[in-house]
Amino acid sequence: MILTKQYRCVHSASCQCTKGHLSEDVIFLVFQQLNWNPKLIATLSCVCKWFDDLAKRVLWKEFCRTRAPKMMVDLQSNGSHSIDGNWRALGKLLIYCSGCKKGGLFSCNQIPGHFVYRTRFSRTSGKSFLMPQCRTDVLYVSDPCEHLDHGEEGDIGFFRGVFKSFSTSKSRKMLINRGAKLHPTEVCPYCKAKLWSMLQAKMIPQSASCRLGAFDECIEYYVCLNGHMVGICTLLPLSDSEEASELEQCLTDSQICNG
């Protein structure tokens, strides 16, 4: 894919490339060879406003398409060429667990955010996080990122997700109809937009706890104005009998596979 559309350069006053720089086509091909490496895209964004604009508009978009191709096709299947928020925010959501800070969104001890190598996002799982009246909405949710042995808090799981066309979703309409309040201070860790508490709006179905393997009353998540979701849950620990049962099942599966 070669870019043909030309965009106005947006250089900063301190930019060193105002007398000439690589064309967008060349940069596109270079990062294509680098398999849209997110660390290098982030580094390029720090050079100047022109590179930052190119990264937001093109490079992060190709990163998302490469990392989660089926999910991206679905998110854009309504004919839109953009994503709610921006491509950089979505790219970060795909690979970054936001953790939590003391006194932030969640009432737990500070757990640093971190990058994750690979996370599975599921549209089927997303249905479990929607109220019955909103099950026609499309929501992709990640498997929980497990942070184990946090003292009295037990095993903590962080999960994240994204709505398709959130601005026209039934979930957003329900939040507005219920008079849900936006969080007064905290913002989305991915796009910096304001956040609604789904717990405060009483829009967390019991099926969400079942899907995550979490205690019923120990789950909370927020959705921002751009449809990004960030949440936390307390995971149910495996008992000795459950661990033994899983081991027996693995042995049975192995015997079947080996004939």
* 201-239: pLDDT as tens digits: 999 999 998 888 777 678 999 999 999 999 998 887 755
Task: Name the pLDDT band for 7 (thresholds 50, 70, 90).
Answer: very low
pLDDT exceeds cutoff 50 at 6:
no
pLDDT exceeds cutoff 90 at 245:
no
- pLDDT value for 254: 38
* 151-169: pLDDT as tens digits: 566 788 999 999 999 999 9
Q: Given the structure tokens 């959705």, which residue do they identify?
A: 223
The number of beta carbons lying within 10 Å of the beta carbon of residue 215 is: 13
Of 237 and 100, the one with more pLDDT: 100
- pLDDT value for 190: 95
Instruction: Name the pTM for this structure.
Output: 0.81
CA-to-CA separations, 63 to 78, 95, 143, 159, in angstroms, rounded? 20, 11, 20, 21
pLDDT exceeds cutoff 70 at 11:
no
- pLDDT value for 12: 59
Q: What is the mean pLDDT of residues 53-72?
A: 93
3-state secondary structure 93-134: HHHEECCECCCCCCCCCCECCEECCCCCEEHHHHHCCCCHHH
pLDDT exceeds cutoff 50 at 25:
yes
- pLDDT value for 152: 61
